[in-house]
Amino acid sequence: MWPAIVFGLHRDGVVVEFGDFAEGVIELADLGGHKVDHPGEVVEVGDSIYVRVLSVDTERQFASLALEPEQDETP
């Protein structure tokens, strides 16, 4: 799980910055456990979120990501 910042919303997904200034995309299908028509239903630009890395294309320096569910911080 990596902390990330949302910096772009597109009709097909969310662009985030995570790790050491790496960028990645969360596709609509990977934004949660329910159908999402637009990423703005789940996140907004500037949100701090957690992501899981699904795959990395080192040639294109591109990562496919999934949104991690919010963690309950109570013990």
Write the pLDDT tens digit of every residue in 20-35. Answer: 768 999 999 999 878 8
Average pLDDT over residues 6-15: 94
Q: Cβ contacts of residue 22 below 8 Å, gap of 6+?
A: 61, 63
Q: State the residue for tokens 């985030």.
A: 16
How far CA 54 is from CA of 9, 27, 74, in Å, comes to: 19, 11, 28
Most confident of 8-12, 34-38, 67-71: 8-12
Closest by Cα among 74, 1, 67, 73 to 33? 67
φ, ψ of residue 40 in degrees (nearest 5):
-65, -15
